Amino acid sequence: MILVTGGCGFIGSAFILQWLARTDEPVVNLDLLTYAGHPGNLAEVESHPRYVFCRGDIGDTATVAQLLATHQPRAVLNFAAESHVDRSISGPLAFAQTNVVGTLQLLQAVLEHWRQLDAQSQQAFRFLHVSTDEVFGTLAADAPAFSETHRYEPNSPYSASKAASDHFVRAYQHTFGLPTLTTNCSNNYGPRQFPEKLIPLMIHNALQGKALPVYGDGRQVRDWLHVDDHCSALRQVLEAGRPGETYNIGGRSERTNLEVVHTICRALDQLRPRAGGESHTALITHVKDRPGHDRRYAIDDSKIARELQWKPEVGFDAGIAQTIQWYLDNDAWVQSVTSGSYRQWMDKHYGAQ
């Protein structure tokens, strides 16, 4: 049994689907179901015999303690977070609360549980913290990619909160001996990503004939990784990573935001031509840049490649085509997460909190 937090979000749900498909082990999912958490992401495994869902907060130590005592997981994987940079600029406190205080409370509950295990179970136990490359700050165009030893220089309230959580994870390993693993991953894309993030936002707006808002000159570079590749890397780190270590995960796919938007437009021109035949690129609108917007992220993945024999499998062009097709095929999902009806459905099924 493993315990996943934040499993109803974009990456957590992809991880649980992959876990149930590729392993024989049960998984319990603790998720608060914030605006970003959608049980519908896991609708296909809702009744799966190896899947258990619990609605709750990583910061609620009583709930976490009870889950740990009941299910005795051999590992905890922490995906739960406030994850959107723009929201962290308009409301940073929620990011400190969940990403910093929540992670710390989770760590403490896990530590207390871990201390009660026998020596063998203690040794085998893992706490895997899912983090971001944004903690490293920004790179010049010609600078070497981020390695695991790159200095922490977070520039947004989001990345600052993730950096703080990474430091607490490190401290719990160093001070208390809790067997932790931390991963710092580049930008993910794929099915079920909330349409506030770049790729689903562009697909969603393009399909509605709305403007495609590109921050500043659009030449910010990100290293894109398909979410399924991220999940396979996490499974590999969980099984073979060395406790106390951190692992960078990337897609070997550096693209400017503008390139990404053009790729989406070209694909949609083929799949859903606009009335009148004009390209979707005509919808691109440059808007005022995000304050403090990092210019470039890039991942040096040589450590995970060398030590754990992991590399990304999904090429960017194939991955983006599959992602666009998913959004075309799942309009009901998009409608439900953007219309607010989903919130009513969720409260009806799980009770308002």
* From 75-83, 251-259, 266-274, 318-326, span contacting ligand NAD (CB under 6 A): 75-83
Question: For the chain, first and last CA: distance in Å?
Answer: 27
33 binds ligand NAD (CB under 6 A): yes
Q: Which of 31, 57, 134, 301 is catalytic?
A: 134
Using CB under 6 A, pick the residue from 2, 9, 159, 263 that binds ligand NAD: 9
**Residue 222 Cβ, how far from ligand NAD at the closest point, in Å?**
9
Residue 255 CA to residue 319 CA, distance in Å, equals 14
| Binding flags for ligand NAD, 169-198, as an x/- string (CB under 6 A) | ----------------x-xx-----x----
Q: Is 133 a catalytic residue?
A: yes
Q: Which of 158, 172, 189, 327 is catalytic?
A: 158
Q: Is 189 a catalytic residue?
A: no
Looking at beta carbons only, is 148 or 269 nearer to ligand NAD? 148
Residue 221 CA to residue 253 CA, distance in Å, equals 10
C-beta nearest to ligand NAD: residue: 9
Q: Distances in Å between the alpha carbon of 56 and those of 20, 64, 78, 97, 98?
A: 21, 8, 13, 15, 12
Q: Which residues ranging from 105 to 164 are in contact with ligand NAD (CB under 6 A)?
A: 130-132, 162
80 binds ligand NAD (CB under 6 A): yes
| φ, ψ for residue 196, nearest 5 deg | -100, -15
Closest CA to 133 of 306, 20, 249: 249
Beta strands 2-5 and 75-78, pairing class: parallel
* Residue 65 token pair: 């303690």
59 binds ligand NAD (CB under 6 A): yes
Looking at beta carbons only, is 156 or 173 nearer to ligand NAD? 156
Say which residue the tokens 């998913």 belong to: 326
Active-site residues, by number, are 133-134, 158
